[in-house]
Amino acid sequence: MNDLSTNSSRWPKWTLFAALLLALPVPYFMVVVGGIVPTFCIIYLAVHGLIVALPKFTAEGFWMLGILWAHVVILGGLLYVSAAGINWLLFRFLPYRYALVVVLGLIVALFVASAFEIYRVPGHNSAPPANIFRIYKSFAT
């Protein structure tokens, strides 16, 4: 593999990683609430929790933050390794044009699948099914 193909295969890896963060349903385990949401939602909750918990300095707040940030680190790392592995395999064994089409096809398929109700919204003893629009709408409001 030459330098041109190595450098030009970096943006599909990061684009696939961003798509996995935004749309791939991952399990979200908490002490009371749980569900299956995209990793970006967990990142949003972790950053929001950090902003809220830092001024209060409560033990419970930092315990929940620890769980949230453990989700972010573990799931984010796994998704990055997955995106890098898929990218490496495709660009290693397929010509650049075909590998790029497959990566873009994976991204499109992921977002098309996320339009269906494949997620479970976190909630107390109830996890209603939701699609990507409902998930992000709940975080926007």
- Residues 48-81: tens digit of each pLDDT: 878 877 777 677 777 878 888 888 999 999 999 9
The tokens for 129 are 């099914």
Average pLDDT over residues 33-58: 79
Q: Is the pLDDT of residue 6 over 60?
A: no
Number of domains in the chain: 1
CA distances from 55 to 30, 45, 62, 68, 82 (A): 22, 16, 11, 18, 36
- Does residue 117 lie in a domain region? yes
Please give the pLDDT value at position 3: 43
pTM of the model: 0.82
Please give the pLDDT value at position 129: 83
- Does residue 130 lie in a domain region? yes
Residue numbers of the domain that contains 91: 15-140
- Does residue 103 lie in a domain region? yes
* Chain position carrying tokens 């995209």: 38
Share of the chain above pLDDT 90, in %: 38
User: If you average pLDDT over every residue of the chain, what do you get?
Assistant: 83
* Chain position carrying tokens 């963060």: 21
